[in-house]
């Protein structure tokens, strides 16, 4: 009964707030911006731009520049080194170290007490409330929630200050969880935050083997690795035989479509449910509040003020985002945020499109620097992942990970065509006909979803058929390990207009692959 009382308590706390987000989005965001500006008016940044509760959204947009991480870094470095009251009041001790997918350098994002409690923890409670509200008969809180975290270490900018830490955002959150939340989860914090990933997977798998796990939370890629090890240790056919009460996976960081069939095989139970979350080092942005729809409800009262940069402004020297009230359905926007961690009009790098304006719901479409447009084909991550999922479904080939890059015209050939090369890691080595079929469905789906790609592929005049390479199991894990990005929230860039990542992945595969 204690689990039901806790479920009722979090629902009373969260569900009315989520209703306000849906019903009064403009009012909620306006009030939040006033609070952010009032709180930060005494900081260096606030004094520079005249912050205050009487500053209007129009004043804010006119005075404060849009900043990338690189542009904001001089101020962030002051915060990292311990200078107080730079971007936000006080002196943050914790920093989320991102995977650095936007460029080669890792990013350090302040995690203030306000960001931790009013953004990450609040959104976590909201997801808990929604889950128990949507599936009351499953008694999700009567068992454990299994979550994989990263690791944290001392802040290299303050080597003599052990209280200042940097790490994966999941590690930052876990290391400071309230006691009531720690009771619900597994494995123990010390085990969850181990920094040696292979040891972590093994120890966690052995620890959770006999527990009553009812909820999974994490990145699909690494969750698969753990589930497979648990199944192997148990001598079982699938994870349902180990955890018969497992009912929900809260997943994020990468699109779930390419992994869906893989999870169906690992968890062959019709009662299993899946809900998506959209969080990052910079904040917890949205969550799936309707099981029948993959759209994500934008969280508007979690310490983040939102603006949206239209696609035609992405390369502009003076970019002009639009407000929430000005967005249009199904147009691509880059996310611009101002937060209670001191990120002001910060260009995250993620791109979204709105699927609903009442309430505001989005789908993640990719990143401003992660797409294929070497030949005018304009393939974005959302389309690529949908095509991979379709090819996986049509062939029965389960995909673990993938990346793609251009194949350039040969300078010494008058008949050379451009194209795309895909490195795909499957759950099992595919037969040549199946791999050929996978490539054909991938190509056909891209043509169906993207008219620019279809035009370039017409009669193969401008683009050759995609070349799909099946890389051995463990290839992407080896590449991540070589990059120092094994485990946690780290992930492989899906699409890039350079071949740098693809070539490195192919080297990691050690030549043991087939091409079509």
Q: Each residue of 350-361: pLDDT tens digit?
A: 899 999 999 999
pLDDT tens by residue, 56-67: 999 999 999 999
The CA R_g of the chain, rounded to the nearest whole Å, is: 23
Residue 256 has pLDDT above 50, yes or no: yes
Final residue of a structural domain among 341, 368, 395: 368
Where does 319-374 have alpha helices with state H? none
Same domain? 7 vs 75: yes
CA distance 118 to 238: 38
Tokens 């991938």, residue located: 442
Residue 148 has pLDDT above 90, yes or no: no
Final residue of a structural domain among 325, 342, 368: 368
pLDDT tens by residue, 212-232: 999 999 888 778 889 989 999
Confidence of residue 460 (pLDDT cuts 50, 70, 90): confident
Residue 90 region by backbone torsions, left for phi larger than 0, else alpha for psi between -120 and 50, else beta: left
Tokens 């310490």, residue located: 303
Residue 444 has pLDDT above 60, yes or no: yes
Contact 442, 419 (CB under 8 A): no
254-264 per-residue burial string, b: 16 or more CB within 10 A, e: under 16: bbbbbbbbbbe
What are the beta bridge partners of residue 218?
A: 251
Residue 440, classified by CB atoms within 10 Å of its CB into exposed (0-12), middle (13-18) or buried (19+), is middle
Q: Which of 16, 245, 299, 213 lies closest to 133, judged by CA?
A: 16
CA distance 417 to 138: 55
Same domain? 423 vs 392: yes
Residue 273 has pLDDT above 80, yes or no: yes
> What's the length of the chain?
516
Decide which of 461 and 46 is more confident. Answer: 46
- In DSSP notation, 254-291 reads S-SGGGHHHHHHHS--TT-EEEEEEEETTEEEEE---T
Q: What is the mean pLDDT of residues 244-256?
A: 89
CA distance 456 to 449: 13
Structure tokens at 36: 């952010």
Give the chain's domain count.
Answer: 2
Same domain? 192 vs 73: yes
Same domain? 25 vs 103: yes
Contact 442, 391 (CB under 8 A): yes
Mean pLDDT, the chain, rounded, equals 89
Q: Give the 3-state DSSP-derived string for 168-236, with helices as H, strands as E and coil as C.
A: CHHHHHHCCCCHHHHHHEECCHHHHCCCCHHHHHHHHHHHHCCCCEEEEEECHHHHHHHHHHHHHHHCC
Q: What is the CATH number of the domain that holds 284?
A: 3.40.50.12780
Q: 140 is in which domain, residue-wise?
A: 1-368
Tokens 């542009």, residue located: 71
Structure tokens at 295: 């759209």
Structure tokens at 464: 């050759």
Decide which of 31 and 182 is more confident. Answer: 31
pLDDT for the residue 478: 84
For residue 99, which phi and psi values (nearest 5 degrees)? Answer: -75, -10
Tokens 């720690």, residue located: 182
pLDDT tens by residue, 365-412: 877 777 787 777 778 888 898 999 999 999 999 998 999 998 876 544
pLDDT for the residue 262: 82
Same domain? 192 vs 326: yes
CA distance 421 to 419: 7
Same domain? 355 vs 432: no
Same domain? 56 vs 164: yes
Contact 156, 176 (CB under 8 A): no
Same domain? 65 vs 127: yes
Confidence of residue 416 (pLDDT cuts 50, 70, 90): low
pLDDT for the residue 102: 41
pLDDT for the residue 486: 61
Final residue of a structural domain among 336, 368, 400: 368
User: How many other CB atoms are there within 10 angstroms of residue 266's CB atom?
Assistant: 21
Q: Which residues contact 478 (CB under 8 A, 6 or more apart)?
A: 508
pLDDT for the residue 411: 43
Same domain? 274 vs 219: yes
Decide which of 346 and 454 is more confident. Answer: 346
Residue 415 has pLDDT above 70, yes or no: no
Residue 117 has pLDDT above 80, yes or no: yes
pLDDT tens by residue, 67-109: 999 999 999 999 999 999 999 999 999 999 875 444 445 789 9
Same domain? 320 vs 387: no
pLDDT for the residue 514: 40
Contact 166, 173 (CB under 8 A): no
Q: Which residues contact 87 (CB under 8 A, 6 or more apart)?
A: 40, 43, 44, 45, 75, 76, 79, 110, 341, 342, 343, 344
Does the pTM exceed 0.75? Answer: yes
Tokens 């979803």, residue located: 449
Same domain? 300 vs 407: no
User: How many other CB atoms are there within 10 angstroms of residue 58's CB atom?
Assistant: 9
Q: What is the mean pLDDT of residues 176-183?
A: 84
Contact 489, 365 (CB under 8 A): no
Residue 21 has pLDDT above 70, yes or no: yes
What are the beta bridge partners of residue 306?
A: 337
Residue 513 has pLDDT above 70, yes or no: no
Same domain? 336 vs 380: no
Tokens 């299994």, residue located: 146
């Amino acid at each position: 009964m204690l689990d039901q009382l806790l479920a009722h308590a979090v629902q009373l706390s969260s569900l009315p707030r989520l209703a306000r987000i849906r019903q009064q989005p403009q009012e909620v965001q306006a009030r939040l911006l006033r609070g952010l500006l009032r709180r930060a008016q005494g900081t260096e940044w606030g004094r520079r731009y005249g912050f205050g509760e009487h500053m209007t959204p129009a004043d804010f947009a006119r005075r404060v520049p849009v900043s990338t991480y690189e542009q904001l870094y001089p101020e962030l470095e002051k915060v990292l080194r311990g200078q107080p009251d730079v971007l936000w009041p006080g002196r943050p001790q914790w920093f989320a170290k991102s995977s650095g997918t936007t460029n080669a350098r890792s990013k350090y994002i302040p995690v203030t007490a306000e960001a931790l409690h009013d953004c990450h923890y609040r959104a976590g409670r909201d997801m808990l409330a929604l889950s128990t509200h949507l599936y009351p008969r499953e008694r999700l809180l009567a068992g454990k929630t299994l979550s994989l975290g990263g690791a944290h270490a001392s802040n290299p900018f303050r080597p003599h200050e052990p209280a200042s830490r940097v790490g994966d955002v999941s590690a930052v959150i876990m290391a400071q969880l309230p006691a009531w939340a720690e009771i619900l989860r597994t494995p123990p914090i010390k085990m969850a935050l181990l920094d040696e990933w292979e040891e972590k997977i093994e120890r966690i798998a052995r620890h959770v083997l006999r527990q009553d796990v009812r909820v999974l939370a994490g990145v699909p890629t690494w969750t698969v690795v753990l589930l497979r090890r648990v199944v192997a240790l148990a001598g079982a056919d699938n994870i349902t035989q180990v955890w018969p009460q497992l009912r929900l996976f809260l997943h994020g960081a990468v699109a779930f479509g390419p992994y869906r069939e893989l999870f169906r095989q690992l968890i062959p139970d019709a009662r299993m449910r899946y809900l998506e979350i959209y969080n990052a080092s910079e904040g917890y942005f949205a969550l799936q509040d309707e099981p029948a729809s993959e759209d994500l409800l934008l969280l508007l009262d979690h310490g983040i003020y939102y603006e949206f940069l239209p696609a035609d402004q992405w390369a502009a020297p003076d970019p002009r985002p639009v407000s929430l009230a000005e967005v249009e359905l199904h147009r691509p926007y880059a996310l611009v945020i101002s937060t209670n961690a001191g990120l002001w009009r910060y260009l995250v790098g993620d791109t979204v499109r709105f699927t609903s304006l009442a309430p505001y719901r989005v789908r993640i479409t990719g990143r401003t620097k992660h797409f294929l447009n070497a030949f005018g084909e304009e393939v974005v991550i959302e389309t690529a992942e949908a095509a991979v999922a379709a090819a996986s479904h049509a062939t029965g080939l389960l995909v673990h990970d993938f990346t793609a890059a251009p194949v350039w015209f040969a300078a010494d050939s008058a008949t050379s065509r451009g194209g795309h090369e895909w490195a795909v890691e499957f759950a099992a080595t595919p037969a040549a006909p199946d791999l050929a079929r996978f490539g054909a469905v991938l190509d056909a789906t891209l043509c169906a979803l993207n008219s620019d790609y279809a035009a370039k592929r017409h009669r193969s005049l401008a683009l050759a058929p995609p070349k799909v390479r099946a890389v051995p199991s463990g290839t992407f894990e080896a590449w991540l390990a070589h990059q120092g990005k094994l485990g946690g929230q780290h992930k492989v860039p899906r699409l890039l207009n350079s071949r740098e990542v693809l070539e490195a992945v192919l080297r990691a595969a050690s030549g043991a692959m087939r091409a079509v």
